[in-house]
Amino acid sequence: MLPRSLQNFMNAFTSADYTMYPFATTNAQDFRNLMGVYLDSTLHPLLKHSDFVQEGWRVGPENPLAQPEGSGEQNKSGKDDLVFKGVVYNEMKGQMSDAMYLYYIRFQESIIPALNNSGGDPAKMTDLTYDQLRNYHKQHYHPSNSKILTYGDQPVEGHLEMLGKSLSEFSQESLEQDVKSPIRLSGPKEVVTKGPIDPLTPPEAQFKTSTTWMMGDTGDIAESFALQIATSILLDGYGAPLYRELIESGLGTDFTPNTGYDTSGRKAVFSVGLNGVTEENVPKVKQVLAETLRETIKKGLDQHKVDGLLHQLELGLKHKTANFGMNLIQRIKPQWFNGIDPFDALQWNSIIESFKAEYAKGGYLEGLLEKYLANDDTLTFTMTPSKDYDADLAAEEATRLQSKIQEVVSKFPSEADAYKHLRERELELLEEQQSDQTAGIDALPTLHVSDVPRQQPKIDMRDSELEGKTKVQWRETATNGLTYFRALAMFKDLPDELRMLVPLFCDALMRIGTKEKSMEELEDLMKLKTGGLSFGYHSTASPFDTQHVQEGLAFTGRALDRNVPAMYELLQTLLLETDFDSSKAHKMIKQLLQSGASGAVDGIASSGHGFAMKYANAGLGPV
């Protein structure tokens, strides 16, 4: 559908307990076309065996077009050339090599053992059969078990008509909807597992450890909202007590991926963990965490931090992004899939007013933290770096491969016959893949010229200059009372040795602070007065000359109209008054470098294509 549509989003998301198929477009006919294709694909999938072996897993020759060589019987059979194949299988091998992802998945398996692995564990994937796949689909992927949401400016009657036509082909069924709950904790529990070593960080400081508490029922929207506020104050920002005592103190480099208040299940969980911990500091992390929580609850949460978070919520409701509908779906689906009315989660005004009323009584947030966190009913999950991890993983896969090969061989007179079968199946799959590329494509709907407006809405802009030298471009439109600002300070002949430092410079602007104000104070002001400020490297290649590139510093921000002067003042303060000569500056920059290096190798697994594209493009231009 990509070349037959004006779509601006098409994808499929796999979670631990649901699959979501979202799409988006700004063209009414295109929306109807895509909805028809999506409904047909999700409600009437072919689920062919060839799709299973291509997308899932199979055993086959690495290069089926090459003839086996050698005089030995083993080489004649081609057994040495057999490998595990499959799109998802190999994708997940790469994903599971990411230490951060692996940590999160193994943690999920410990805290909610009944939960599925959303992407699939390659070590378990090869136990799945085609019949099991079809039975699982029949059991769970019935429209009686689905949730359907549309958002946009098109009349909902048209959506309902299409949905009604598709759903009328099915009968209502009563399907078991098992809500997965976390384990019960009564006292401390510890889980230790092994993980890979990151070659870019010190080997002695690669432990990852976190502590988790069970929280309340996510169906209690008011309490869950209050706990989100409280835990955000504990964690978010350089001035947050847990950041200050755990990361700024040097115990670790950054938070583990499971850190935060998780409301995706029926029972919420709160986790705090650190990456880059030394072995001797692993028990100290939990000790410092518990002490910091006790002191914070005793001292109380700062009023201005609560006000800042409420201000951010107000801005979030007013700030309408291009993917607002998608964000809306992401916001309500956890509650919806756990049996909670999604409209309850959308009553933001009443939720916030209820919170303000409770908070005004005093001690509300501290009482909730005391209720859930002032105990040792915890799960401590630790991943230790193992130099043998990759080798052990490869050995396990090799053993599993030989087992699967023997299963195939046992069905044939000889190894040679078994290999011949696998090679022929691989060639048949290749032929089907090539022939299927255009098969049935004419059955797909497509947009016609008449479906596309000849004119797009005009965006009115006006230009001006400040003091005769700074060009300013204005756009005036409905923004829910928000002003958006973006500025570019262009570089001229920036040396290569300085260019590589620009990202670090931008990060440091948001980390060090000034002579007059700490970064914690500046962060509090940003939350109270703006919807966020950012600095970053900007480059634009000329469409007429690939050797000509403009580069510079980009800084952006947004604020309610009444707070625009404060936003400009904060931007000026950060740009001109950041104290790079302070005694803390060296320490802060070192922490930024350590945090950036931590897990840098992990990003290659999921972004390898991006690195390859950048490397290829590097030879075409100066940047």
- The predicted structure's pLDDT at residue 530: 96
> Which residues are within 8 A (CB) of 146 and not within 5 positions of it... i.e. 6 or more apart?
none
* Spatial distance between the Cα atoms of 391 and 395, rounded to a whole number of angstroms: 6
- The predicted structure's pLDDT at residue 542: 81
Q: How far does Cα 376 stand from its chain's mean position?
A: 30
The tens digit of pLDDT for each residue in 233-245 reads 999 988 899 999 9
Straight-line distance from the first to the last Cα atom of the chain, in angstroms, rounded to the nearest whole number: 35
Contact, 54 vs 433, CB < 8 A? yes
Q: Which of 9-18, 318-327, 395-404, 561-570 has the lowest mean pLDDT?
A: 318-327
Q: Which of 286-290, 559-563, 609-613 has the lowest mean pLDDT?
A: 609-613
Examine the pLDDT at 602 and tell me if it is beyond 80: no
Confidence of residue 601 (pLDDT cuts 50, 70, 90): low
- The predicted structure's pLDDT at residue 488: 95
196 three-class SS: coil
Examine the pLDDT at 109 and tell me if it is beyond 50: yes
Report, in angstroms and rounded to the nearest whole number, the Rg of the chain calculated over CA atoms.
Answer: 28
Confidence of residue 439 (pLDDT cuts 50, 70, 90): low
Q: Which two tokens stand for residue 48?
A: 């062919």
Examine the pLDDT at 471 and tell me if it is beyond 70: yes
> Which residues are within 8 A (CB) of 441 and not within 5 positions of it... i.e. 6 or more apart?
none
Contact, 239 vs 184, CB < 8 A? no
Confidence of residue 77 (pLDDT cuts 50, 70, 90): low
Q: Which domains does the chain have, with CATH numbers?
A: 7-176+413-437 (3.30.830.10), 189-385 (3.30.830.10), 462-618 (3.30.830.10)
Phi first, then psi, for residue 271 (nearest 5°) are -125, 145
> Which residues are within 8 A (CB) of 521 and not within 5 positions of it... i.e. 6 or more apart?
239, 513
> Which residues are within 8 A (CB) of 355 and not within 5 positions of it... i.e. 6 or more apart?
222, 225, 226, 229
Arithmetic mean of pLDDT over the chain: 90
Examine the pLDDT at 479 and tell me if it is beyond 80: yes
In one-letter notation, the amino acid at residue 96 is M
- The predicted structure's pLDDT at residue 179: 72
- The predicted structure's pLDDT at residue 72: 47
Contact, 54 vs 86, CB < 8 A? yes
- The predicted structure's pLDDT at residue 76: 47
Mapping DSSP onto H, E and C, the string for 60-123 reads EECCCCCCCCCCCHHHHHCHHHEEEECHHHHHHHHHHCCHHHHHHHHHHHHHCCCCCCCCCCHH
Confidence of residue 73 (pLDDT cuts 50, 70, 90): very low
Q: Which two tokens stand for residue 212?
A: 């988790």
Across residues 214-230, what is the average pLDDT? 94
Confidence of residue 344 (pLDDT cuts 50, 70, 90): confident
Examine the pLDDT at 70 and tell me if it is beyond 60: no
Compare 608 and 115 and report the one with higher pLDDT: 115
> Which residue reads 């000509």 in tokens?
548
Examine the pLDDT at 97 and tell me if it is beyond 60: yes
- The predicted structure's pLDDT at residue 74: 45
- The predicted structure's pLDDT at residue 57: 97
Across residues 1-13, what is the average pLDDT? 91
Q: In a 10 Å sphere around its CB, with 0-12 CB exposed, 13-18 middle and 19+ buried, how is residue 423 labelled?
A: buried
Could you tell me the strand order of the sheet in which 549-560 lies?
Answer: 482-490, 549-560, 533-541
What b-and-e string marks burial along 314-339, b requiring 16 or more CB atoms within 10 Å of the CB? ebeeebeeeeebbeebeebbbbbbbe
Phi first, then psi, for residue 269 (nearest 5°) are -130, 150
- % of the chain with per-residue pLDDT over 90: 67
Across residues 209-225, what is the average pLDDT? 94
- The predicted structure's pLDDT at residue 69: 56
Q: Apex CA 260: angle with CA 114 and CA 235, to 5°?
A: 165
Which residues are bridge partners to 578 per DSSP?
Answer: 514
Examine the pLDDT at 621 and tell me if it is beyond 60: yes
Q: Which of 74-78, 324-328, 376-380 has the lowest mean pLDDT?
A: 74-78
Nearest to 530 by CA among 585, 576, 573: 573
Nearest to 398 by CA among 590, 585, 583, 122: 122
In one-letter notation, the amino acid at residue 294 is R
Which residues are bridge partners to 536 per DSSP?
Answer: 554
Compare 359 and 619 and report the one with higher pLDDT: 359
